[in-house]
Amino acid sequence: MSYTLNQKVSNLEPYEPISGHYAIRLDANESFLEIPEHVKADMLSRIANLHLNRYPDPLAAGVCERAGKYLGVRPELITVGNGSDELLTLLTQVMMSKGEKLVYTTPDFSMYKCYGYLAEVECIEFKKDANYRIDVDKLIDLIQSEGARMVIFSNPCNPTGVGISREEVLRLVEGAPECLVVVDEAYMEFWDQSVLDCVENYDNLMVLKTCSKSFRMAGIRCGLAISNPAVTNALRAAKSPYNVNSMTQAAAEALFDYPHELDSATQTVVDSRDELYKAVKALAGKYPGKLSLLPTSANFVYIRMPAGQAKRIFEAMKAEGVIVRCMGDCLRVTCGTEYENTEVVRLLEENL
């Protein structure tokens, strides 16, 4: 009798980002900005002086100290992971038990449900309204009626760019006191509605941050989970002892030692996003009925199109060496350099 896979993984399909070389890549919400040479030199110098025969700091204390100073939170409230993805996996496995209920919103980051499924918790969908907004009262009612132990959503949302206000998030936290509210603020640097400063005020609030978006470091895989001492201590105790390697820690430490560079890069991306949004908005006015655009608080725009058009235009742009993200009848386009934004708008108009 041969070995067989268990049921939960036998039909699982891997997350498959677009691979290959393309002249313009605006599909993954990465920053189009490189790390400045003097910062990169500092990173490489720190890495060169590491004792790689030794295990890394298990708590990544240097990262916690610097990130905490930049973000305005106490270092002991931070858990560092290999990107937010490791932390999301931990949360569903550690903060929930088999059979408990996880509420996720749609549309939103697809991996929330996947990590819950692998942790063998019951995943309950909450659908946003026609404008992709969360009705907080309805969400609270669902959490309470189902007895959910965790709810998770991105704010601003990936893939729509639509966010909910700080006041609404805190109303959710207060309205569902027995449920851990996990707010993924991966794109919050591009907006101003963070609840990060409130994590110590509540027993049931956690905020996730990442180095992959405005901080320009998608390649080092470094994410942060910030919560009250009880939740943080539980997460730190349950994670792998040496989960974040020494080179990632050294790079992240150097990154946060240049706060003005981080602020400047964020503003540059916001300016690019606004220019891209304005240009696509003009197309929507020029070609009524061909596309519509959602307001965005992230580093991308979300374009709705009539049935079948998004896929057609995606393929046409791909043939020209320009990659964006096709999501059903929508295109998600990350902002880029001035040239990249211009090319995207040109190809959109050519194919409308």
Class of domain 37-257: alpha beta
Place of tokens 């040479």: 37
pLDDT band at 1; cut points 50, 70, 90: confident
Q: What residues pair up with 181 in beta bridges, in sequence order? A: 151, 205
Range list for CATH 3.40.640.10 in the chain: 37-257
236 and 263 Cβ atoms separated by less than 8 Å = no
Q: Residues of CATH 3.90.1150.10 domain(s) within the chain?
A: 7-30+261-351
- C-alpha 27: how far from its chain's center? 14
Tell me the per-residue pLDDT of 325-334, one tens digit each, with 9 for 90 and over: 999 999 999 9
Quickly list DSSP for 226-251.
EE-HHHHHHHHHHS-TT-S-HHHHHH
The residues that bridge with 25 in the sheet, in sequence order, are: 323
Question: Could you say which architecture CATH assigns to the domain 7-30+261-351?
Answer: Alpha-Beta Complex (3.90)
Q: Flag whether the pTM goes above 0.75.
A: yes
Nearest residue to 87 (alpha-carbon basis) of 111, 104, 65: 111
Q: How far is residue 108's CA from residue 345's CA, in Å, rounded to a whole number? A: 25
Distance CA 323, CA 308 (A): 18
Q: For residues 15 and 277, which has the higher predicted lDDT (pLDDT)?
A: 277
Interval 227-275: pLDDT, tens: 999 999 999 999 999 999 999 999 999 999 999 999 999 999 999 999 9
Average pLDDT over residues 99-125: 96
> Is 90 exceeded by the pLDDT of residue 15?
no
* Contact (Cβ atoms closer than 8 angstroms) between residue 98 and residue 120: yes
Whether the CB-CB separation of 81 and 223 falls below 8 Å is answered with yes
Q: What percent of the chain has pLDDT over 70?
A: 100
What DSSP letter does each residue of 281-342 carry, written as one string? HHHHHHSTTT-EE---SSSEEEEE-STTHHHHHHHHHHHTTEE-EEETTEEEEE---HHHHH
